[in-house]
Amino acid sequence: MATTTATLVAPKSRKQATAGAPPRAKRRVEGVYYLFLLPSLILFTLCITLPAVIGIFFSFTNSIGFGDWKFVGFINYIAAFSDPAILQSYLFTFGFAAVTVIVVNVVAFLLAVGLTSRIRAKTALRTIFVIPMVISSIVIAFVFNFLFSNSLPAFGQAMGIGWLSESILANPDLAWIAIVIVTAWQAIPGTLLIYIAGLLSIPGEVYEAAAIDGAGHFAQLARITLPLVMGYVVINLILGFKGFLNAYDVIVGLTNGGPGTATRSIAMTIVTGFSSGDYAYQMANATIFFIITVAIALLQLTLTRGRNVL
């Protein structure tokens, strides 16, 4: 009787397996790609990189934007860190951005859940909710300025509501609420679209299995929907917060930084300084703000690395 002997061969390591393989040829990049890249690179350098470098250079001088100047070292930076007006603008901007990003994401997520459920005319409703995103920020601000300054006070007087009888834009303690409302009204559609994309990527079988196991709508939302769209939540939170730090148009149209300087953002402080002779000083402020936004961008890359959601 013939016997067959099986020989077991140990698997080779990756280094051993590729030792005898021919070297992989590197892909050669065609020169035409660099040719098409060159115009964009030149425009980016001339319009963004070069002005930024020049601005950072002048932040170490006493320049007022024209005329003679001389180096003053870090004096502008030291003064900026101890300037109450600048510190107030940072406090307002970060507080405003934190509150607004929470409001926007909560409302957008709840709307996305509703607009992806089994309701009638959800396509038409999605179109309606996206409209604020395509309207100019300054136009929206002026429209809401009229509402907060005229329509709402008239309504408050007619209904006998004391605190609503006057424009909240003139109240240093309430003006920021109007800015949050208007900014959120315009920012919700973009965040809503991202959440809708995330919710539509969840397989329906997951919800069917959960329903068979007896999970209710709230349990499905908390234990299935939220964990599966958490990548979208992180991206919306970071992108939204970083975007709201640059608030300018809506504030100009609503309060112009007032009453006093109660609602003056960092961007408004910088632009106002440029036009009032504090060019080098506010350029130092802009450099500080640039470093902060770069740090937030790096945080975004760290938190979103490996989340293939977009």
List, in order of start, the domains of the chain with CATH numbers: 84-304 (1.10.3720.10)
Name the residue with higher pLDDT: 22 or 161.
Answer: 161
Is the per-residue pLDDT at 101 higher than 60? yes
Q: In the chain, pLDDT over 70 holds for what percent of residues?
A: 89
For CA atoms 272, 290, 178, 141, the dihedral sign is positive
Is the per-residue pLDDT at 15 higher than 70? no
Residue 6's pLDDT is 43
Residue 8's pLDDT is 43
Residue 187's pLDDT is 93
pLDDT in tens, 123-145: 778 778 888 888 888 899 999 99
Residue 235's pLDDT is 86
Residue 68's pLDDT is 85
Is the per-residue pLDDT at 243 higher than 60? yes
Name the residue with higher pLDDT: 292 or 124.
Answer: 292
Residue 210's pLDDT is 82
Residue 79 amino acid letter = A
Composition of the chain by helix, strand, coil, percent to 5: 70, 0, 30
Is the per-residue pLDDT at 111 higher than 60? yes
The DSSP result for 44-102, as a single string, is HIIIIIHHHHHHHHHTTB---SSS---B-TTHHHHHHHT-HHHHHHHHHHHHHHHHHHH
Name the residue with higher pLDDT: 7 or 227.
Answer: 227
Residue 4's pLDDT is 44
For CA atoms 215, 218, 221, 227, the dihedral sign is negative
Q: Report the pLDDT averaged over residues 139-154.
A: 91
Is the per-residue pLDDT at 13 higher than 70? no
229 neighbors 199 (Cβ within 8 angstroms): yes
Is the per-residue pLDDT at 51 higher than 50? yes
Average pLDDT, the chain: 84
pLDDT in tens, 160-217: 887 778 888 988 888 999 999 999 999 999 999 999 998 888 888 888 888 888 888 8
How many CB atoms are located within 10 Å of the residue 151 CB?
Answer: 11
In the chain the beta strands, taken as DSSP E runs, fall at none
Q: Report the pLDDT averaged over residues 68-88.
A: 91
Name the residue with higher pLDDT: 1 or 108.
Answer: 108
pTM, entire model: 0.81
